[in-house]
Amino acid sequence: MKPLHLAMILAIDVVWGCNIVAVKEGVMSAGPFTAVLLRYVVATAVCLPFLRWLPGRMGLILLAGFVSGALFMSLGAVSFALADNISALSIVGQLGVPFSLILAVIFMKEEIRWPRITAIAICFLGVVVMGFDPAIASERIGILLTVGAALSWAAGNLLFRKLQGVSVLVIHGWLGIVAIPIMATLAYAFEPAKLAAIPDLPLSTWGWIAYSGLMSSIVGHGGMTWLFQRYPVAVVSPLTLPTPLISVAIAVAVYDTPITGQMMVGGLLTLVGVAIITIRTAQRRDSDMPVEPT
């Protein structure tokens, strides 16, 4: 891999790691549903010039918009609003990786052998260990919502696998088209005061929301898609593994979130399981599919 492209992946890891602060600040200032609504307004405004109709795929992309857009983002935003220890949420969110594999086995008949089966068990064991940590007992609702968000992300990921060849900007444009009216309805129903206060939001809140919508969603995912088109999955995917570690480090630095020994053990188990799944799945996909020419 060229040094510039390696630097690009590491920069994306940092962008995604820092997004934990952007999401938390946006949610606490604007409210979870209103923050997601504004995030999609910002991202969709950028994607609109690239939006196009996808004959034969619109049902799939609209379903993906609901699952990966409104449902995933809503659950994630509410979990961030309820939880103080967002370090735990950033680790639990990694369950999207084993959930993706489980859904692929069920719905796409993907073959799975004992190393990845063991890794799935390790991931969930890690979350259970963290969940029974008395230090984060008050965060359990947020953790459960994050588990739900991870499952939604995994389901959306399964749908995206059927949208290969579609531009990231097109996909995110349609995600916004689907998610905006849903999020506006939820904000109107549950956060009318926050919705009405949008014109009075401080510039810093708009900055955090713009960061999530543009840097994390479009630049991050767009950059990764560009890299996947040029390098084998087994080369690119493992290089995204530092993201949760960066998220935890930033959460500790910014919010002084406590890290107990039990959390460290549970988090390490989860991340080890995720690493095994990521690396072995990437190797399998590269062996099953030819690499596209650059």
- Which pLDDT tens digit goes with each residue over 119-155? 999 999 999 999 888 888 888 899 999 999 999 999 9
- Percent of the chain whose pLDDT exceeds 70: 96
Residue 137: predicted pLDDT? 80
For the residues 85-90, what does the mean pLDDT come to?
A: 90
What distance in Å separates the CA atoms of residue 219 and residue 48, rounded to the nearest whole number? 16
pLDDT at 290 over 50: no
Q: Alpha helices of 136-241 — where are they, by DSSP H?
A: 140-160, 168-190, 192-196, 203-210, 221-228, 233-236
In-domain check, residue 280: yes
- Is position 81 within any domain? yes
- 294 inside domain: no
Nearest to 276 by CA among 103, 71, 94: 94
Q: Is residue 122 domain-resident?
A: yes
Residue 292 — very low, low, confident or very high, per pLDDT cuts 50/70/90? very low
pLDDT value for 74: 95
Euclidean distance between CA atoms 39 and 195, whole angstroms = 13
Q: How many domains does the chain fold into?
A: 1
Max CA distance (Å), the chain: 55
Q: Are 143 and 121 in contact (CB under 8 A)?
A: no
The answer to whether the beta carbons of residues 120 and 102 sit under 8 Å apart is: yes
Binned at pLDDT 50, 70 and 90, residue 288 comes out as: low
Instruction: Determine the structural domain holding residue 17 and report its residue range.
Output: 3-288
* In the predicted structure, residue 285 carries a pLDDT above the cut 80: no
User: Mean pLDDT across the chain, nearest whole number?
Assistant: 90
For residues 71 and 222, which has the higher predicted lDDT (pLDDT)?
71
